[in-house]
Amino acid sequence: MDDNDPGSRIALALDVPDLDAAKRLIDQTHESVGTFKVGLELYTAVGPAAIEAVHTAGAKCFLDLKLHDIPATMGRSVARAASMDVAYLTVHGAAGLDALRQASGEAGSTQLLAVTVLTSLDAGALEQIGLCGGPRNAADRLAKLAWDAGLRGFVTSAHECAALRDTLGEEAFLVTPGIRPTGSDVGDQKRVMRPADAIEAGADLLVVGRPIRDADDPTQAAAEIARQVELALSQ
């Protein structure tokens, strides 16, 4: 898929338990979706076969393993992902500067994406694990740490996207989950945004899961989101 195609701005989360279900979803949507996200559930179940299924469809693979380990292990794991031609790979900012630097040094053409604070953690939950000062503070601090380690990709709520873009500038690559087209079920996401609004807020890549996976017609749901992205890009 061409970089100017609206589908190149959409990553569909393959949050399914097995390879057959993943292949089915890829088949149904690959004309409107340029990137497929393989997360912990699918990767734990089937491993690199999930990456192969994405590549076989001619799409990019986003490996969402949220790595958080000692520097040597981070570096070696990132090198393995890069050798499988994964386009995007997530790492936790909280792994620390040395681990992030090591990861960055092994990434090759894989774009690392820093996860700062999980959106499931509120101020109370952060205090319990010793991160004081609130989620916004912690997210800013971890984003800066990742930037200093050489990372230029960040996962952010669409609601913080515009502020992060202001802070980090055009060089940053911003990825936003929590996307919901008008009328779709919010599910357990607390802070959602429509596709067009996320694009206008400066998002480079929108992560969409259930609005497509759980639609009666995933092909049509993906095409409709691509249409909304196209409209936003043309404005």
Residue 15 binds ligand C5P, judged by CB under 6 A: yes
**Residue 158 in contact with residue 181, Cβ under 8 Å?**
no
Query: Closest distance between ligand C5P and the C-beta of residue 155, in Å?
Result: 6
Measured between alpha carbons, how far is residue 103 from residues 97, 128, 154, 155, 234 in Å?
10, 28, 14, 16, 36
Tokens of 24: 């089915």
SS3 content of the chain, % helix, strand, coil (to 5): 50, 15, 35
Nearer to ligand C5P (CB atom), residue 17 or residue 187:
187
Nearer to ligand C5P (CB atom), residue 135 or residue 211:
211
Give me the amino acid identity at 62. Answer: F
The interface mask with ligand C5P, positions 202-221, x = CB under 6 A, is: -----xxxxx----------
Query: Closest distance between ligand C5P and the C-beta of residue 156, in Å?
Result: 8
Q: Which of residues 142-161 bind ligand C5P (CB under 6 A)?
A: 155
Determine which residue in the list 6, 8, 13, 36 makes contact with ligand C5P, applying CB under 6 A: 13
Residue 187 binds ligand C5P, judged by CB under 6 A: yes
- The number of angstroms, rounded, from the C-alpha of 158 to the middle of its chain's C-alpha atoms is 12
Nearer to ligand C5P (CB atom), residue 75 or residue 196:
196
How many beta carbons lie within 10 A of that of residue 200, not counting itself? 16
**Which residues participate in catalysis according to the annotation?**
66
How far apart CA 121 and CA 9 sit, in angstroms, is 27
The residue whose Cβ lies closest to ligand C5P is 209
Residue 121 binds ligand C5P, judged by CB under 6 A: no
Query: Closest distance between ligand C5P and the C-beta of residue 209, in Å?
Result: 3
3-class SS at 34? coil
Instruction: Please give the residue ranges that form the binding site for ligand C5P (CB under 6 A).
Output: 13, 15, 39, 118-119, 155, 177-178, 187, 189, 207-211
